[in-house]
Amino acid sequence: MKIPYYVVHSFTSRIFSGNPGGVCPLESWLPDEVMQQIAFENDLAETAFFCHEDSNLRLRWFAPKAEVDLCGHATLAAAFVLYECLGYMESSVTFQTRSGPLTVVRDGSRLAMDFPILAMTPVPVSSDLAAGLGISPVQTFESMDLVAVFEDESQVASIQPDLDLFQRIPGRGVLVTAPGKTSDYVLRCFGPKVGIPEDPATGSAQSMLAPYWSGRLGKPELTVRQLSSRGGQMFCNVKDNRVNIAGQAALYLNGHISIQGLGS
């Protein structure tokens, strides 16, 4: 069986930066264990699979070790493949997902995603978190990820995490964030529990961080930089209990995955 496969670098205008996301358009769903094996073999932060179900287009995301509830860069990558590689002509596309319907709109050279706001609950700084980061944040919150807020961009940039300690921390992963010097805020994202030591550019994180920084800075429109080695840039707008997350993308690879003995 041959499965179409694309790699798109999201939240960047050029390859070799941003976040690589795998995309597999399907005519019918593969067994879950096969999609998980493909994601593990690809060893990207996420591989997206989408397939038509009746009149809907369903999208699922698999990290190397687990299916995840929400992923920004692979959603952007899937929309990019539809528009740039598969001839999709509508001005927007809506994916049905585990986090509800997610709409992506063409906005000039950018693709803009409509994501839900994820509430954050203040919690004390745990000893595992402080030890894992090597520095204690000024605030922490629980949400889909554990969020650690710092005072300065340089603190976020300098963190050398102990990923083994992060395995004991509740949530999908650990987000660290601070006010930015050339952007409204910066972040880094660590997800060893799902097989992602450090994510290069994390769209789903903005469902938590953009509302926080919008309230703290008193502005709905925000510029975002991710301080990974590859880097990433996002543009967020917080409105009506939703977050609009926009960015560019670039095609790196297209081809096929060949799995003998699976279908035709």
3-state secondary structure of 193: helix
Spatial CA neighbour of 144 closest among 178, 124, 164, 174: 174
pLDDT one-digit tens code per residue, 238-248? 998 999 999 99
pLDDT one-digit tens code per residue, 81-134? 999 999 999 999 999 999 999 999 998 899 999 999 999 999 999 999 999 999
pLDDT one-digit tens code per residue, 196-214? 999 999 999 999 999 999 9
Element holding 28 (H helix, E strand): none
Which structural domain, as residue segments, surrounds residue 14? 2-114+247-258
Give CA–CA dist 202/200, Å, rounded.
7
Catalytically active residues, by annotation: 46
Q: What is the pTM of this model?
A: 0.90
Q: What pairs with residue 57 in β-bridges?
A: 52, 95
Q: Total structural domains in the chain? A: 2
Give CA–CA dist 184/110, Å, rounded.
19
Both 145 and 234 in one domain: the answer is yes
The answer to whether residue 8 sits within a structural domain is yes
What are phi and psi for residue 206, nearest 5 degrees?
-70, -20
Q: Where are the alpha helices (DSSP H) in 50-193?
A: 73-84, 127-133, 153-158, 163-166
Both 102 and 7 in one domain: the answer is yes
